[in-house]
Structure 1
């Protein structure tokens, strides 16, 4: 996560350099996205790995049944402690095109058995870290397999790539258009197209006619600026959304949850970068009926992790953070 955060700091500068939006389409693809009340379940090493992605609590030696059983406790914790109904899980070609996929599917299947939505997203390897698909042929093979396995389940959503910062807007739209054509059996309303840069701006992809009908995904973090007021953070976020809030799911947003910050109550929010950021983000998502998928719901060793493992289940790291997140979800 730390490496990814440092890279994300460059997002605003990169976004400014991206070409102007493509041909616009009238209106938004959906009325609201607040049906996504989610969390990321992440690898302790971060999801940028050159090898199998293994979310916290799982091991490479786990069988399908072991993954499924472990996931039952974690997914149930996301539901009971947070009120989540969505989990975002990482994939890469090594994880899907190798033997791990047969076991790893236990996490997906457990979430679906619990009635959860699942967002599955491709992450590049940490040996590349250039914002491009590492191996297009392997990437296609991966997505062919994942969509074959889960196209028929309406609760599975597909995000072709996480943080595509290597691509220009036009190149990114072209890649996504090709993905949509290759997987035309997937309804566009079950595809999340990442914003340009570090997923940090959706105005370009939102305006691209080739991507009409898709959902959009945005990332937004408090370490991207030094503002200490909700008003400043609201402006920052609004500019990244443009007129596309109703199509957008913020599928990464998070704040320190193990450092003693209090997130609830107006008196505790302005005056601190992270409390003002998180308040502004959750206020806006609630007001605009937007989905938010917290980073991370569970990731061992991450100060942003809103839960931690406890026995076969989970425990909350910051009750006020949970309350503020639930506010943003509209609960």
Structure 2
């Protein structure tokens, strides 16, 4: 880690100096979010449609590298206004990387940051590594340092800009990551520590180590928490999971990534019985109870089933899930009564469980895109695994997408995918007493490709052979 120290004194000495500086600064600064929790962060992530892991510029949904500062500012003003008016958000988390800072795009991208600040928003700027490595480490330390020098030089004195040195530093052990954080603080010692957000270890998934580090005293901490990390189906189980990741540091932690499928019809007013609705209930309820900030992933990202909002052709924003939005706002501290209802958590339907694999036919990534090939995944009762066998023989998911034979629609080995329901022969299925599911037009059987049994095994059709990879239970 010597390359990261920028010529600083050894860590043991630096720790003592930094701790003394932190204590002095803490006494000199006005009360920060620490004294009242972090609940004044009610936010959303604004993300690049390709994901924020990019080797080139990061460009949040709705923006374009072809726009100048004024055009970017105008577009961002409309989007940020939607975050405020539609959601009630007061915080936006935005990605940065060396390809985006100190470049031509930076001259425009600052228009989006400035538009959010002009609307009174808090802005969290977080570094994402490039997708070319994606090893949980800083790609180029010199470029990373130069990037932060530029960002802090421009926004270091702005009281509503917060700096997160790195998103998900899973490539580093605790001591390494604490050293990097301490070095960042020393290099930017004029930034109040209450405006620096230090990521938890791993995939930002635990803050107990960084919370205990004296070198990082006075900073905020960030935690990420997702429903696909476990298979709990009750709020209580998820709360216990989250509590262990927080330890005693909830008072200085904000959850700056947490999200769940918002485009698939899940009912987030049902707090138990489904992985994702129980997870989201636990996350939002914990945030409310412990007065923690919560920044949803993502507030806006084109093509992401987790996206809380969709952008219309005229640039306005529309919520993708009324119950999801209601539960998020409850977590933010709005309202006097929790938005609970008695409807089933997932849309009505049944799983299609492989006899040979004990895994379910799944729409990967909760995608709603036509042509998405189905696969096997651990059964979780989610909306992307809930299939209705309609009276006309279709197997419908999400209420409007049908299972169909892709490719030429008739040949063995053709992929099985989702598409808009059209009543075509390729979308007809017979559920048979011998546990096979066949396409009447071709006589082909639904099957796990290559007789595979693991997560991610693709689904296709083949000549019926009576083997277990072609047998399915619906329950």
Query: TM exceeds 0.5?
Result: yes
**C-alpha distance after superposition, 1:133-191 (max 9, x if no partner):** 00000001000000011011100000000000000100000001000000001000000
Structure 1 stretches lacking a partner, 5+ long: 1-21
CA RMSD of aligned residues (A): 1.7
Paired with 1:176 and 1:30, the residues of 2 have a C-alpha distance of: 22
Larger Rg: 2
What is the SS of the residue equivalent to 1:252?
Answer: strand
Take 1:177 and 1:241, find their aligned partners in 2: how far apart are those partners?
21
Name the stretch that deviates more: 184-193 or 91-100. Answer: 91-100
- 1:269 aligned residue: 271
Partner of 2:163: 158
Is 1:50–2:52 an aligned residue pair? no
Query: What whole-Å deviation, never above 9, does each CA across 1:54-76 have from its counterpart, x for those lacking one?
Result: 00011110111111010011101
How many pairs align? 306
CA distance in 1, matches of 2:109, 2:38: 27
Superposition pairs of residues 44-193 of structure 1, within 5 angstroms: 44-193=49-198
Which of 39, 62, 78 is matched with 1:34 structurally? 39
Q: Which residue of 2 aligns with 1:294?
A: 296
Q: Deviations over 1:64-103 (max 9, x none)?
A: 1111010011101000010000000000001003211000
* Structure 2: segments with no counterpart, 5+ residues: 1-14, 24-32, 335-475
**What whole-Å deviation, never above 9, does each CA across 1:38-59 have from its counterpart, x for those lacking one?**
0000000000001000000111
Are 1:207 and 2:209 counterparts?
no
Q: SS at the partner of 1:94? A: coil
Q: Matched residues in 1 for 2:285 and 2:185: separation?
A: 33
Counterpart-to-counterpart distance in 1, 2:113 and 2:92? 9
- Secondary structure of the structure 1 residue equivalent to 2:244: helix
In 2, the alpha carbon distance for the partners of 1:167 and 1:199 equals 11
Give the TM-score, by structure 1 length. 0.90
Distance in structure 2 (CA, Å) of the matches to 1:296 and 1:30? 28
Asked if residue 312 in structure 1 is aligned to residue 354 in structure 2, the reply is no
**CA deviation profile, 1:267-312 (whole Å, cap 9, x unmatched):** x220000000000100110000000000000000000000010212
* Residue aligning to 1:328: 331
Separation of aligned partners in 2, 1:270 and 1:329: 20
What displacement does 1:262 show?
Answer: 1.0
Which structure features the higher share of helix residues? Answer: 1
Matches within 5 A, 1:4-43: 29-43=34-48
Q: State the TM-score, normalizing by the size of structure 2.
A: 0.63
* 8 Å contact kept, 1:76–1:313: no
The answer to whether the 8 Å contact 1:29/1:212 transfers is no
